[in-house]
Amino acid sequence: MEEYRMPLIGDTFPQMEVKTTKGVVKLPDDYKGRWFILFSHPADFTPVCTTEFIAFQKRYEEFQKLQCELIGLSIDQVFSHLKWEEWIKEKTGVEIQFPIIADNTGEVAARLGMRHKQAAGTQTVRAVFIVDPKGVTRAILYYPMELGRNIDEIIRMVKALQIADKGYAIPANWPNNELIRDSVIVPPANTVEMIGKRREQEKAGEIKCLDWWLCYKKIEY
């Protein structure tokens, strides 16, 4: 199998055509103009993965409100994915509505660096790629196989990245930051002129500052 370099944050997501439970998908082109999240799981019919897929589906509407699509992946064939989806619906009443990539050759996992030494056999680790409407990889998460993902954190990341595109930075634990709560950080001054502007903005009530290099404001999101 050809050697690939794992895409990094800021890289354009690799061009590829994948077979899914919803038909053939061209990445990232078919999602142009929308965000998408590609996430891998070790295998179908496994306990942690089942809880994750239900959790993703339960929040699917929230992702779509953010103009963000979901696409899953494991090194299983389409019929396995379809049977697993059927089982989930029969046993839990949850219908998986997003596509799942059938990467039975392992090529997609290899291109995205989803197979680590800790992964057993052909299984993939729990990787998450958040890709923006221009097809640029904006965030990458890797979880060990024994740890299920926090879907609310992934939603938080998409919201935060969309706000960051407006020129702000996002504090720790946003929107429940210990210092500035749900405010976002205004870019710090990098010239003497900008220091004066920040002070004027603070006096006008447009922003709040702990100092000229740490200013923040509330925004609609």
- Does residue 72 contact residue 103 with C-beta atoms inside 8 Å? no
Residue 12: name the closest of 138, 136, 132 by CA: 136
> Tokens 């697993």 map to which residue?
84
> Residue 38: is it exposed, middle or buried by C-beta count within 10 angstroms (0-12/13-18/19+)?
buried
**Which is catalytic among the residues 49, 68, 209, 215?**
49
| Long-range Cβ contact pairs of 55-58 (< 8 A, separation 24 or more) | 55/148, 55/149, 55/151, 56/98, 56/151, 57/94, 57/95, 57/96, 57/97, 57/98, 58/94, 58/151
**106 close to 1: Cβ distance less than 8 angstroms:** yes
Is 215 annotated as catalytic? no
Burial 164-197, CB ≥16 within 10 A → b, else e: eeeebebbeebbebeebeebbbbeebeeeeeeee
Q: Are strands 35-40 and 68-74 parallel, antiparallel or unpaired?
A: parallel
Query: Which amino acid would we find at residue 97?
Result: Q
> Is the sign of the CA dihedral 113, 121, 128, 176 positive or negative?
negative
Q: Which residues are catalytic?
A: 49
